């Protein structure tokens, strides 16, 4: 059983569309991180959020940490084929990370 549930598990969209990926938990985390993983590679850290309600932007990507620090969302504006990959959220407690099951995104040209 995953402590962090990501939805949707799979998403296939056309270039230019917007999308949101959700990461939900019943546990409170001290930090929440988002990673992106491409086939044959390890996850690459995109962002860390630590404060409830915090919003961070990374170009076309917007990350939000829930007020209660139990959930997070990733919004991508005007998706591009280069955004294709596996998006993973990970909750931090102390020095440990718990990963969600991932959202596999495919952006078609």
Partner 1 sequence: ETGVTQSPTHLIKTRGQQVTLRCSSQSGHNTVSWYQQALGQGPQFIFQYYREEENGRGNFPPRFSGLQFPNYSSELNVNALELDDSALYLCASSLQRGLAAPYEQYFGPGTRLTVT
Q: Classify the C-alpha dihedral 35-37-42-44 as positive or negative.
A: negative
Number of neighbouring beta carbons within 10 Å of residue 50: 13
Q: Is 1 in the site for partner 1 (CB under 8 A)?
A: no
Q: Is 92 in the site for partner 1 (CB under 8 A)?
A: yes
Q: Distance between CA atoms of 25 and 35, rounded to whole angstroms?
A: 17
Count of residues in the chain: 109
Determine which residue in the list 25, 33, 64, 72 makes contact with partner 1, applying CB under 8 A. 33
Q: Is 24 in the site for partner 1 (CB under 8 A)?
A: no
Type and span of the H or E element at 109: none
Determine which residue in the list 44, 55, 58, 78 makes contact with partner 1, applying CB under 8 A. 44
Q: Which residues are at the interface with partner 1 (CB under 8 A)?
A: 2, 4, 6, 30-31, 33, 35, 40-45, 48, 50, 88, 92, 94-102, 104
């Amino acid at each position: 059983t995953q402590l962090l549930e990501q939805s949707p598990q799979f998403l296939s969209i056309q270039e230019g569309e917007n999308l949101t990926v959700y990461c939900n938990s019943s546990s409170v985390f001290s930090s929440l991180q988002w990673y992106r993983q491409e086939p044959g590679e390890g996850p690459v850290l995109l962002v860390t959020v630590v404060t409830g309600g915090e919003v961070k932007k990374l170009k076309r990507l917007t990350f939000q940490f829930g007020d209660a620090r139990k959930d997070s969302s990733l919004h991508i504006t005007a998706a591009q084929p280069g955004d294709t990959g596996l998006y993973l959220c990970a909750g931090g407690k102390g020095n440990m990370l718990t990963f969600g099951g991932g959202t596999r995104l495919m952006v078609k040209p």
